Homo-oligomer: A and B are copies of this chain.
Amino acid sequence: MDRSKLSRRTWLATTSGVIAAGLLRTQADAVRLEAQETPEGLRDPSKVPGRPTSEVGARAPGEQPRRLVRNQNLSSSSRTPLQDLNGTITPADLHFERHHAGVPDIVAEDHELLIHGIVDRPMVFRMADLKRYPCVSQTYFLECSGNGGGAYSRDRMPTDITVQALDGLLSTSEWTGVPLSWVLREVGVRPGASWMLAEGGDAALMSRSVPLDKAMDDALLAYGQNGEAIRPEQGYPLRLFLPGWEGNISVKWLRRLEITDRPTMTRDETSKYTDPLRGGAARQFSFVMDAKSVITFPSYPYALPDRGWWEIKGLAWTGRGRITRIEVSTDGGRSWADAQLQRPVLSKSTVRFRHLWEWNGGEALVLSRATDETGYIQPTVHELWDVRGERTSYHQNHQRAWKVASTGEVTFGLGDLV
């Protein structure tokens, strides 16, 4: 191969308006290229036999994404590295965690689900029973109701926070399970029933009240995640899954459902997961996750190395169905442009959005805002705080912002808007 024929890469505009990234090849690169023909070139991977096949694969040594672990307390969380991921699927071993008494070690063969209360036939189900039912698989997001809420407030507005630390309590999986409605039909829900208590088999006995309407709609008794069995941190061997609702109510390690005629008012829905409002009132049973979007690139601590075209990328989702529009602003919300949505846009799942932006080297404040099929528009931080107050860490789905300095350095920019 005659290397002299290779063009060095330069800025090239194309007719489509898509302008390519040009990173000039340095002299050092050229030297290194030549070195491949020296004895050191034996490191060329095409010159040596590769590794054999294996029963289970592993990531490349240079690709080791990690969840962000906040602490090692019994009640803790870990966050998905949103900045490292493409597309929408979250690898199961990077799905965020939130548990109140650690991850229990459950043997599937020993696990049982009791369904009782206002029913004709109280029953105990084993995993083999549940797996004999017909099942369905759907891709859904799961988000903790506290996602993005605790990391800052009007009084404490960090600039050095990553999208993982801020909004990493969000993940997306293909979930497989039995529609709960099919199982409830079998136990025979009796007239007068209107709620259901869901109880986990962890040491916290995590317990939430679920309106029966949701249980009969799209609720799953889920045992599969991204093709395989649900991971232990996600509720192995069985979790409730309530699409579009706050994560904690999709009770993990599910061991009991009690059909009731009222909410049970458990510790987990009174001492927490209740949202303070302005004026001392509180909103309870705020189940649905409203439309939200986050920008994953550019975000702290990335620094844009040069001016020109960059693709702003992010994720959007809504618990109320489908995202219909994503807009991006690079001037702090004064003007907006429509971003592209990656098709297909699934209901109650994440959608990847992208927007090509020509950075002129000046300061910029980059935001995104989502609209869903109900017409709901992701609010600004002021719009949300005016209603909800800034003292709660739940359901803080307002627009996020990243500030790009003239140096290219990116920092969390919400402080510029507060």
Residues of A whose CB lies within 8 Å of any CB of B are 1, 5-7, 9, 12, 14-16, 18, 20-21, 23, 25, 45-60, 62-63, 65-70, 72-74, 76-78, 84-95, 97, 99, 101-109, 114, 116, 121-126, 128-129, 132-137, 174-176, 182, 185-186, 201-203, 205, 223-224, 226-229, 231-233, 236-237, 253, 255, 310-311, 342, 344, 346, 352, 354, 356
Measured between beta carbons, the chain B residues less than 8 angstroms from A176 are 86-87
Known interface pairs A49-B102, A57-B93, A122-B6; A87-B227 also in contact (CB < 8 Å): yes
Query: What residue in chain B is nearest A342 (Cβ atoms)?
Result: B137
Q: Show 6 A/B contacts (Cβ-Cβ < 8 Å), sorted by A.
A: A1-B114, A52-B69, A54-B69, A60-B108, A86-B224, A87-B137
By Cβ-Cβ distance, the 10 closest A-B pairs, closest first, are A50-B102, A21-B132, A87-B137, A86-B224, A45-B104, A86-B176, A57-B93, A53-B78, A63-B229, A55-B66
Select one of B99, B109, B114, B227 contacting A90, CB under 8 A: B227
Apart from A54-B69, A55-B67, list 5 A-B contacts with CB within 8 A: A9-B123, A15-B185, A20-B133, A60-B232, A89-B89
How far is it, in angstroms, between the C-alpha of A4 and the C-alpha of B90 when the chains are bound? 44
Measured between beta carbons, the chain B residues less than 8 angstroms from A135 are 86, 311, 354
Query: What residue in chain B is nearest A313 (Cβ atoms)?
Result: B135
Scoring A9, A52, A72 by chain B CB atoms within 10 A of each residue's CB, the highest score goes to: A52
Known interface pairs A45-B253, A186-B12; A231-B60 also in contact (CB < 8 Å): yes
Measured between beta carbons, the chain B residues less than 8 angstroms from A88 are 137, 174, 227
Select one of B18, B49, B182, B310 contacting A182, CB under 8 A: B18
User: In the bound complex, do residue A185 and residue B16 qualify as a contact, i.e. CB atoms below 8 Å apart?
Assistant: yes
User: In the bound complex, do residue B185 and residue A84 qualify as a contact, i.e. CB atoms below 8 Å apart?
Assistant: no
Measured between beta carbons, the chain B residues less than 8 angstroms from A125 are 9
- A contact patch SS: loop
User: In the bound complex, do residue B7 and residue A123 qualify as a contact, i.e. CB atoms below 8 Å apart?
Assistant: yes
User: In the bound complex, do residue A7 and residue B66 qualify as a contact, i.e. CB atoms below 8 Å apart?
Assistant: no
User: In the bound complex, do residue A46 and residue B104 qualify as a contact, i.e. CB atoms below 8 Å apart?
Assistant: yes
Measured between beta carbons, the chain B residues less than 8 angstroms from A63 are 108, 228-229, 236
User: In the bound complex, do residue B84 and residue A50 qualify as a contact, i.e. CB atoms below 8 Å apart?
Assistant: no
State how many angstroms separate the Cβ of A354 from the closest Cβ of chain B: 6
User: In the bound complex, do residue B227 and residue A89 qualify as a contact, i.e. CB atoms below 8 Å apart?
Assistant: yes
Measured between beta carbons, the chain B residues less than 8 angstroms from A133 are 18, 20-21, 311
How far is it, in angstroms, between the C-alpha of A69 and the C-alpha of B356 when the chains are bound? 44
Select one of B45, B55, B87, B103 contacting A174, CB under 8 A: B87
State how many angstroms separate the Cβ of A83 from the closest Cβ of chain B: 12
Select one of B95, B122, B129 contacting A21, CB under 8 A: B129
User: In the bound complex, do residue A50 and residue B104 qualify as a contact, i.e. CB atoms below 8 Å apart?
Assistant: yes
Select one of B47, B91, B224 contacting A227, CB under 8 A: B91
Measured between beta carbons, the chain B residues less than 8 angstroms from A129 are 9, 21, 23
Known interface pairs A86-B137, A132-B21; A185-B14 also in contact (CB < 8 Å): yes
Select one of B50, B91, B344 contacting A203, CB under 8 A: B50
How far is it, in angstroms, between the C-alpha of A325 and the C-alpha of B261 when the chains are bound? 43
How far is it, in angstroms, between the C-alpha of A131 and the C-alpha of B331 when the chains are bound? 25
State how many angstroms separate the Cβ of A102 from the closest Cβ of chain B: 3
How far is it, in angstroms, between the C-alpha of A126 and the C-alpha of B68 when the chains are bound? 29
How far is it, in angstroms, between the C-alpha of A124 and the C-alpha of B30 when the chains are bound? 11
Query: What residue in chain B is nearest A237 (Cβ atoms)?
Result: B60
State how many angstroms separate the Cβ of A132 from the closest Cβ of chain B: 3
Measured between beta carbons, the chain B residues less than 8 angstroms from A224 are 86-87
How far is it, in angstroms, between the C-alpha of A406 and the C-alpha of B237 when the chains are bound? 32
How far is it, in angstroms, between the C-alpha of A150 and the C-alpha of B69 when the chains are bound? 47
Known interface pairs A201-B46, A202-B50; A59-B228 also in contact (CB < 8 Å): yes
How far is it, in angstroms, between the C-alpha of A68 and the C-alpha of B121 when the chains are bound? 44
State how many angstroms separate the Cβ of A18 from the closest Cβ of chain B: 6
State how many angstroms separate the Cβ of A1 from the closest Cβ of chain B: 8
